[in-house]
Structures are given as C-alpha cells and as structure tokens.
Structure 1
C-alpha cells in the first residue's frame, strides 16, 4: 500500500453505510459458504478443546494460533474479492504471516487490557480503533506499530460510526450464540468478511497493485 495515499485518506476522513457493508459481507460469505462454515467449525472445535480440556494451555490458542486463523478469513475474503480460486488449505495461509500477526495482535490486546485498568472507555476506544491492525499488517506489509497507528487514525476519523458497526457485529454474533451456538458458524465468517469488505472499501485508493492476494500484499 502507498503510505502517502493512506495519509491522504485519513486526512480527508471516511464514511460508509453499515447496511451496505454487511450486505456485501454476506454476499462474500455466500461464495462457497459450506467451506467457510467448515473452517469456522474447525476453529470453534479447536478453541473448545483448549477451553475445556487444556485450560492451562488456552494461551497457546489465544496468542499463537487464533491470530493466524482469523487472518485466514481475511485472505479468503481477498481472494473472493479478486475473483480468485481458493480451496480449504488456503484458510491456513495466515500462518505465512504468523510472527507478524502474533506481534500486532498481542501488543494491541495488551494496550486494550491496560485501557481497562485506566477505566473502560479507553479500552473501548482502542478495541474499536485497532479493528484493522491485522489487515494493515497483512495487506499493507507494515510493521506492528505502524499498522496499529494507521488503524487507530483511520477509525478515529469517524470513530462512532465504526463503534456502531462493531456493535452491530457483536449483536449478530450474540444472536448466533442464542441458537445454541450453531448460528456462529454463519455469523463469525460473515463478521470477518464484513470487516474485510469495509477495509477494502476504505483503502482501495491506496493499493499499489491490482491484486492484494496473500502472495502479493504490497
């Protein structure tokens, strides 16, 4: 991504329609939806195993596995956006960025936790502001602090709108939980795809090349 163009986007500010982003996120989910459901089931199953049978090692999943697995959703969304072929192993390409996504996820999470100790409001602010830090790391190729700051500054141009967007995603996933958790197989990928759609929409003008696939993320 072109840093100068990103700075221009941030300086101008951003806006978006939540309904439109969610609709496009759902359309992304509908492309080979059974494969998305299968990967989500696998992710949930692994988390279940760690939570209930390896509780003392849950940190392994949270710190070392989850960031790369979540990145898989974004990489698949990118392939769908570029109308590129993808298969089930492609969900695991997030591990190609393993160290980078671990670092940015860990540091941003630590800052959010520190925000909780400084009262809840700073934590909420940072939680929303760091919405795109993984995406800037993977598709922008930036190091962790630059990714976090670009995400924070971009979101801060219209923070309350992003907060509402995040709140809607939270409510969607709560509805998934209320269906005995089965609905999460749909709402989790839908949520991540919607975040990707929003990121792509806002940063489109800063992309240097036509394709931002996981093989070329400059």
Structure 2
C-alpha cells in the first residue's frame, strides 16, 4: 500500500450502513453456506479438543492457530466479492500469512488487555479500533504495526458507529448462543463476512490502485 493510497484512504469520512453490512455478510454466507458452517464447526472442534485434552497448551494453540483460521473468513469473503471460485481449502489460506497474522493478533490483544487493565475504557476503544488489523495485514502489504495503526486511524474517525456495529454483531452471536450454540455456526461466519464487507466498502478506492489487494489464488 503506497503513501498515495494511504492518503486516499483518509480523504473520505468512513461512513457505512450497519444494516446493509450485516445483509452483505449474510449474502456472502449464502454463497458458501456448507463450507462456512463446516469451517466454523472445525474451529469449534479444535478449540474444544485443545481445551479438554491439551489444557496446559490450549492458550498457546489458540495464539498460534486461531488468527490464521480467522483470516480464512476474510480471505474467502474477498474471493466471493471478486467472483473467484471458493473451495473448502480456501478457508485455510490464512496460514499462508501465518507470521504477520499471528503477530498482528497478538499485539492487538496485548494492547487491548493492558488498556482494559488501565481504565477499561481504553481497552474497549482499542478492541474496536483494531477490528481491521488483520484485514489490513492481509490486503495492504504492510507490516503488523502499520496495519494496526491504519485500522486505528480509520475507525477512530467514526468510532461510535463502529462501536454500534460491534454491539450489533455481539447481539447476533448471543442469539446464536441461545439456539443451543448451534446458531454460532452461522452467526460467526456472517459476523466476519460483515466486517469484511465494511472493510471492503471503506478501502475499495484506495486498494483498487496498482499494488492494491493482492490476488489470493
């Protein structure tokens, strides 16, 4: 991502429609319903097995594996948006970005944790502000710190709107929990797809230039 692209990114106020973003996330899900549910089930299974059978290493496994799995949702959403064929293996392409995705997730988690320890509110601010950290790490071609800073700067411009967006996503997943947790197999991928939909909407003009979103085949 060039300096010119970065300048363009912040030329416009980051406005978006929450309802339309959720709807777009749902549309992405409907494109790959079985793969989305199967991938979410696999994530739950990995987390469950590590918790019950590898309790002493569950946190380490989460740190080393979960970020790349999460990245898979964003990469698949990008494929769907571009009209590129999606296979179940496409969800594991986050491991191609293993290093930067892990560091981005780890640093954002640590900063958010210390923010919560400080006065709670800074932690809440950072939790929302770093929402695009992994997408920027995947699609901007910049390092983890620059990706987190891009996310923070962009979201801070309209932080309360993003906070409301997060609350809506939390509410949707609470509904998924109410339905015996099975609903989470749907609401979690829809949530990640919706986040990508907002990210794409706000960064499309900047990343559309040469050296923009890299092809992920």
TM range (shorter): over 0.9
Unaligned runs of 5+ in 2: none
Q: Is the 8 A contact 1:82 1:211 kept in 2?
A: no
2:167 matched to which residue of 1? Answer: 167
Is 2:64 the partner of 1:68? no
> When the two structures are superposed, what TM-score results if normalisation uses the length of structure 1?
0.95
How many Å apart are 1:55 and its aligned residue? Answer: 1.5
2:215 matched to which residue of 1? Answer: 213
* Number of residue pairs aligned between Structure 1 and Structure 2: 215
Q: Is the 8 A contact 2:31 2:80 kept in 1?
A: yes
- SS where residue 118 of structure 1 aligns? helix
Structure-to-structure mapping, 1:176-191, within 5 angstroms: 176-191=176-191
> When the two structures are superposed, what TM-score results if normalisation uses the length of structure 2?
0.95
Unaligned runs of 5+ in 1: none
Q: Write out per-residue CA displacement over residues 114-159 of structure 1, whole angstroms, 9 at most, x where no aligned residue.
A: 0011111000000000000101111111101100000000000100
1:96 matched to which residue of 2? Answer: 96
How many Å apart are 1:54 and its aligned residue? Answer: 1.5
Runs of at least 4 residues off by over 6 Å: none
- SS where residue 85 of structure 2 aligns? coil
1:130 matched to which residue of 2? Answer: 130
Q: Write out per-residue CA displacement over residues 61-89 of structure 1, whole angstroms, 9 at most, x where no aligned residue.
A: 22100000000011100000001101111
How many Å apart are 1:11 and its aligned residue? Answer: 4.2
- SS where residue 132 of structure 2 aligns? helix
How many Å apart are 1:211 and its aligned residue? Answer: 5.9
- SS where residue 181 of structure 2 aligns? coil
